[in-house]
């Protein structure tokens, strides 16, 4: 039996999914509250509701985990989000920094027929405009195994920018100003001990970026 899932519930499942990507253990209600910018007490109420629907398992003090049906809904929401981002950039000529907010709305359209036709129309894309993998209709998603953050790269090494961990407009605009886009080849020249800022070379030009920026750039070493 399929319960009706509303937008708020989908956003919670998505948030829990992305928070549980790090260590393989329960996600704290505080972490969820922080990521959704809401109160811990609202999170607790919602976790009880989602647990009753069989979408999360929630034990006080042990945190929250998605059940397999909860995970499937989270991945399906992410699938819709990322497919719509591809549509907006490829077919409607939006810039990559303009699409996240719109996709936040489009990801809640329920028709799976629409999603599947959109997928076919776009030629079954594997990645969204920010380099994030798109789950298939079975909820299978490619993992970034051979990638790391630019801040984790060894000094002197070369890499390709393959994704961003922050798809906010302000961050993406900042990258454009620094001539960084998906596919850019980067060499890490140095990391300054004082503030962990990095000196990099992109397209034969040296520039300096903050550690916070480097922490949000997903790269594949060359």
Q: Kindly list the residues in this chain that would bind Zn ion in the complex (CB under 5 A).
A: 100, 103, 167
Q: Which is nearer to Zn ion, 153 or 180 (CB)?
A: 180
Max CA separation in the chain (angstroms): 58
Measured CA to CA in angstroms, residue 138 lies from 51, 106, 124, 173 at distances of 23, 20, 13, 34
Q: Which is nearer to Zn ion, 102 or 189 (CB)?
A: 102
Q: Which is nearer to Zn ion, 175 or 198 (CB)?
A: 175
Q: Which is nearer to Zn ion, 80 or 100 (CB)?
A: 100
In whole angstroms, the minimum distance from the beta carbon of 102 to Zn ion comes to 9
Compute the radius of gyration of the chain from its Cα atoms. 19
In whole angstroms, the minimum distance from the beta carbon of 105 to Zn ion comes to 11
Edge-to-edge strands, sheet with 205-209: 148-149, 217-221, 158-164, 185-191, 198-202, 205-209
For residue 180, the SS3 value is coil
In whole angstroms, the minimum distance from the beta carbon of 71 to Zn ion comes to 19
Name, in order, each residue with C-beta under 8 angstroms of 107's C-beta and a sequence gap of 6 or more: 10, 77, 78, 80, 81, 84
Residue number, nearest CB to Zn ion: 100
CA dist 218 and 100 (Å) reads: 18
Q: Which is nearer to Zn ion, 14 or 100 (CB)?
A: 100
In whole angstroms, the minimum distance from the beta carbon of 129 to Zn ion comes to 8
Name the strand (E) or helix (H) holding 208.
Answer: strand 205-209
In whole angstroms, the minimum distance from the beta carbon of 104 to Zn ion comes to 7
* Beta carbons of 163 and 131 less than 8 angstroms apart: yes
In whole angstroms, the minimum distance from the beta carbon of 133 to Zn ion comes to 13
Q: Which is nearer to Zn ion, 103 or 180 (CB)?
A: 103
Q: How far is CA 68 from the centre of its chain?
A: 20
């Amino acid at each position: 039996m399929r319960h009706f899932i509303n937008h708020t519930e989908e956003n919670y499942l998505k948030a829990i999914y992305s928070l549980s990507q790090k260590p393989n253990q329960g996600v704290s209600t505080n972490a969820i509250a922080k990521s959704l910018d809401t109160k811990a007490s609202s999170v607790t109420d919602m976790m009880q509701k989602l647990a009753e629907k069989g979408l999360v398992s929630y034990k006080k003090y042990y945190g929250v985990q998605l059940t397999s049906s909860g995970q499937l809904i989270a991945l399906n929401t992410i699938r819709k989000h990322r497919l719509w981002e591809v549509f907006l950039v490829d077919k409607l000529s939006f810039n990559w920094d303009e699409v996240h907010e719109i996709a936040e709305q489009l990801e809640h359209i329920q028709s799976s027929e629409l999603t599947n036709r959109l997928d076919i129309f776009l030629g079954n894309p594997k990645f969204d405009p920010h380099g994030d993998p798109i789950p298939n209709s079975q909820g299978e998603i490619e993992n970034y195994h051979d990638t790391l953050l630019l801040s984790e790269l060894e000094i002197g090494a070369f890499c390709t920018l393959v994704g961003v961990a922050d798809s906010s407009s302000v961050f993406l605009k900042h990258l454009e100003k620094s001539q960084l886009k998906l596919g850019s080849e980067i060499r890490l020249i140095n990391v300054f001990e004082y503030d962990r800022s990095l000196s990099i070379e992109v397209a034969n030009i040296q520039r300096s970026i903050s550690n916070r920026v480097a922490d949000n750039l997903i790269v594949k070493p060359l």
